[in-house]
């Protein structure tokens, strides 16, 4: 109770208590009335679909310009004092389909936010600028020079100031500025420097990146240390009169001729009712539902542009963990194994765990001896303490073909359930051993800037059907970066390397003079190079969906123009990650915030030239 009150006291603006979150009971008919007949309309100047990065900024800019704004969000609002910084509840309440969405072929896990604030509430707080070579590519190859203009830079500067974007060393107390990163990021930084790799500290939007609780950012952030949408742009919009309708799905955009007049929505009431309602938009509708759902909404609304839903990019990622201070395995006797696994299909005579222990006996014995010679236990990795992803390795970003389509190495935010899904499963005892030693493991991900035409999103009764396959060029780039990262870890004293996926680990023993030229390491690297990532050899995932309503210069090549306006409709706009012409190669939060700011500022000026704002609702 005391903790809850402290959280409420530090909030600049409480969306729920101030009445920004609309009460369903105040806008729908009594329970006795038939839901399908409840079509009494509401009217706002601007209706924004989605409350994530793009929607939050657009709502703040337009409401500040004097327009009445309604933000419609299919996810629910989770007040800070109800966030427990635990994976179970946050995944159920703040992630798309409770974190269980995958590509159609089941080869890739997709993580996406689905809550008021969208992905800004559950992302890892990494603020990377859109690389200049990508901005120039968009300008030259896609006819979009605005991305190399001063207007874009000014919008980015405004965004960075509002979300307190800064380097970790500029945010931590003075006594910690020599070591501003948590242990995993510090190790990555040191290893890259030892190898002469390009590496840098990344800006974040944490006020206090050194707080232990910053590591729970993927769970929503109970203390609102991260300057997410709910404590920045949505709060700004709310103070200017904007309203949020949560747990409400937009079924379609209502049109008369070439103009949108509003949206048809279905409100999911807490008592289980589904109530259909029309919400009228006097001036415009802005799609900010993200690259998975903005195209689905446009398709349900009968827009015909060939590119809607196509060119899906997702920054496919794979990875590995490296142990630097392992503890020895707790071996069980054969009789215990047989007793406990009488009906275990993984055990056939000698189980996999026994074979693994015997095969790696020398390395495991070294681990045992090193532990017995130490008077104190080595420090744990503590990968869930402190801000994640504050160090970025850029050595492989240009790719093996030097075309700008390469990979970055980053430290992920690995809590128990996510890590548990990445640990190799060959045998229950082996899995238990790896899980017990996870506290001593450094997680690394290879994040690829995907090339080609990308995948496709289609509407499936209100859900996003995602078709996406890793192409050969991207797979080769990822494997190249992955093998180089393994070599780096071996050279810097890793005792075990374990890929994310069902591949047996490389056991080296706990010493600091490992050589990548040893037959053991070379054999392992050959296995990695020969892997087919897209054939389930390793676990693939992504948390960045982009490009399904892309921006361009004509309807023959794109869905929206340089202002984010649909070619097919005079007053429907897109301001989210779906309008990216290509993938970025960097975490997209700062880019989408910047683009939304630039486009919504332009839209506000355009509306003011043609129209007079109505009185705020």
pLDDT tens for residues 574-594? 999 999 999 999 999 999 999
Residue (of 107, 113, 73, 110) closest to 93 by Cα position: 113
Backbone torsions φ then ψ of 505, nearest 5 degrees = -70, 165
pLDDT tens figures, 596-607: 999 999 999 999
CA angle 6, 98, 91 (to 5 degrees): 30
Residue (of 288, 327, 287) closest to 303 by Cα position: 287
Quick one: pLDDT at residue 345? 37
Around 484, how many Cα atoms within 13 Å sit in the side-chain half-sphere?
22
Is residue 523 very low, low, confident or very high in pLDDT (cuts 50, 70, 90)? very high
Q: What is the mean pLDDT of residues 134-141?
A: 98
Quick one: pLDDT at residue 368? 52
Residue 262 contacts residue 280 (beta carbons within 8 Å): yes
What is the DSSP secondary structure assignment for residue 553, as one 8-state letter?
S
User: What is the sign of the dihedral through the CA atoms of 532, 123, 381 and 411?
Assistant: positive
Choose between 20 and 272: higher pLDDT: 20
Is residue 413 very low, low, confident or very high in pLDDT (cuts 50, 70, 90)? confident
Dihedral angle of Cα 252, 257, 259, 260, to the nearest 10 degrees? -20
Which range is least confidently modeled, 165-174, 238-247, 311-320, 336-345? 336-345
Place of tokens 């969000």: 73
In the structure encoding, which two tokens stand for residue 74, read together? 């299919």
Backbone torsions φ then ψ of 614, nearest 5 degrees = -80, 165
Quick one: pLDDT at residue 465? 97
187: number of Cβ within 10 Å:
21
What is the DSSP secondary structure assignment for residue 5, as one 8-state letter?
H
Strands ordered across the beta sheet of 463-467: 310-312, 455-460, 463-467
Backbone torsions φ then ψ of 185, nearest 5 degrees = -70, -35
- The H-or-E segment that residue 237 falls in is helix 233-239
pLDDT tens figures, 175-228: 777 789 999 999 999 999 999 999 999 999 999 999 999 999 999 988 889 999
- Active-site positions? 544
Residue 29 contacts residue 266 (beta carbons within 8 Å): no
Q: What is the mean pLDDT of the chain?
A: 87
Around 75, how many Cα atoms within 13 Å sit in the side-chain half-sphere?
28
What is the DSSP secondary structure assignment for residue 327, as one 8-state letter?
P
Cα separation of 4 and 11, whole Å? 11
Q: Which residues contact 169 (CB under 8 A, 6 or more apart)?
A: 177, 180, 201
Quick one: pLDDT at residue 339? 40
Residue 10 pLDDT greater than 70, yes or no: no
Place of tokens 């035409």: 453
Quick one: pLDDT at residue 436? 80
Domain ranges of the chain: 2-77+129-167+228-313+544-609, 317-380+411-442+449-542
Residue 361 pLDDT greater than 60, yes or no: no
* Class of residue 535 by CB neighbours under 10 A (exposed 0-12, middle 13-18, buried 19+): exposed
3-state secondary structure of 265: strand
Q: Domain 2-77+129-167+228-313+544-609 is in which class? A: alpha beta
3-state secondary structure of 46: strand
In the structure encoding, which two tokens stand for residue 518, read together? 């040893």
Which DSSP string corresponds to 588-610? SHHHHHHHHHHHHHHHHHHHHHH
Which DSSP string corresponds to 430-493? HHHHHHHTGGGEEEEEEEE---TT-EEEEEETTEEEEE----HHHHHHHHHHHHHHHHHHHHTT
Helices and strands (H and E) in the chain: how many: 18, 21
Q: What is the mean pLDDT of residues 415-444?
A: 81
pLDDT tens figures, 279-303: 999 999 999 999 999 999 999 999 9
CA angle 94, 99, 101 (to 5 degrees): 130
Residue 596 contacts residue 58 (beta carbons within 8 Å): yes
Cα separation of 371 and 510, whole Å? 9
User: What is the sign of the dihedral through the CA atoms of 59, 60, 64 and 65?
Assistant: negative
Instruction: Give this prediction's pTM.
Output: 0.90
3-state secondary structure of 279: strand
């Amino acid at each position: 109770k005391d903790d809850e009150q402290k959280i409420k006291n530090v909030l600049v603006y409480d969306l729920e208590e101030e009445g920004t979150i609309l009460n369903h009971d105040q806008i729908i008919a009594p329970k006795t009335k038939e839901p399908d007949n409840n079509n009494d309309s509401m009217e706002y100047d601007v209706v924004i679909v989605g409350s994530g990065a793009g929607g939050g900024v657009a709502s703040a800019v337009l409401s500040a310009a004097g327009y009445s704004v309604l933000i419609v969000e299919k996810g629910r609002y989770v007040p800070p004092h109800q966030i427990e910084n635990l994976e179970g509840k946050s995944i159920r309440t703040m992630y798309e389909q409770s974190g269980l969405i995958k590509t159609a072929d089941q080869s890739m896990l997709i993580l996406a936010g689905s809550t008021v604030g969208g992905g800004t509430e559950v992302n890892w707080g990494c603020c990377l600028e859109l690389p200049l070579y990508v901005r120039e590519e968009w300008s030259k190859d896609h006819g979009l020079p605005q991305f190399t203009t001063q207007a874009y830079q000014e919008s980015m500067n405004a965004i960075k100031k509002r979300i307190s974007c800064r380097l970790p060393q500029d945010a931590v107390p003075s006594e910690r500025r020599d070591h501003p990163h948590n242990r995993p990021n510090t190790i990555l930084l040191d290893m890259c420097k030892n190898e002469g790799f390009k590496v840098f500290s990344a800006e974040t939007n944490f006020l206090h990146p050194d707080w232990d609780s910053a590591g729970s950012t993927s769970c929503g952030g109970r203390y609102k240390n991260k300057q997410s949408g709910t404590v920045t742009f949505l709060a700004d919009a709310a103070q200017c009169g904007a309203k949020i309708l949560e747990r409400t799905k937009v079924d379609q955009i209502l049109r008369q001729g070439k103009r949108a007049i509003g949206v048809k929505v279905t409100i999911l009431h807490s008592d289980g009712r589904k109530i259909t309602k029309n919400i009228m938009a006097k001036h415009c509708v802005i799609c900010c539902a993200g690259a998975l759902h903005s195209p689905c909404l446009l398709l349900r609304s009968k827009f015909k542009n060939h590119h809607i839903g196509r060119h899906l990019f997702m920054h496919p990622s794979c990875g590995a963990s490296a142990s630097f201070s392992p503890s020895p395995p707790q071996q069980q006797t054969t009789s215990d194994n047989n007793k406990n696994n009488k009906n275990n299909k993984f055990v056939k005579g000698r189980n996999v765990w026994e074979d693994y222990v015997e095969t790696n006996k020398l390395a495991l014995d070294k681990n045992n001896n090193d532990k017995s010679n130490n008077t104190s236990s080595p420090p744990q990795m503590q990968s869930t303490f402190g801000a994640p992803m504050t160090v970025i390795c850029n050595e492989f970003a240009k790719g093996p073909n030097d075309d700008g389509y390469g990979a970055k190495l980053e430290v992920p935010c690995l809590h128990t359930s996510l890590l548990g899904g990445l640990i190799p499963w060959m045998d229950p005892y082996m899995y238990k051993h790896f899980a017990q030693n996870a506290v001593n493991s450094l997680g690394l991900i290879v994040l690829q800037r995907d090339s080609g035409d990308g995948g496709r999103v289609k509407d499936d009764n209100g859900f996003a059907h995602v078709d996406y396959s890793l192409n050969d060029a991207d797979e080769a780039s990822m494997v190249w970066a992955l093998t180089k990262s393994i070599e780096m870890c071996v050279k810097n004293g890793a005792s075990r390397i374990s890929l994310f996926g069902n591949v047996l680990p490389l056991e080296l023993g706990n010493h600091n003079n490992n050589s990548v030229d040893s037959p053991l390491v070379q054999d392992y690297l050959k296995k990695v190079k020969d892997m087919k990532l897209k054939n389930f050899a390793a676990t693939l995932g992504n948390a960045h969906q982009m490009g399904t309503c892309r921006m361009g210069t004509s309807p023959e090549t794109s869905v929206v123009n340089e202002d984010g306006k649909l070619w097919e409709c005079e007053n429907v706009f897109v301001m989210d990650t779906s309008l990216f012409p290509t993938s970025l190669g960097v975490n997209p939060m700062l880019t989408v915030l910047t683009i939304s700011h630039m486009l919504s500022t332009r839209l506000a000026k355009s509306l003011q030239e043609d129209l007079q704002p109505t009185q705020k609702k």
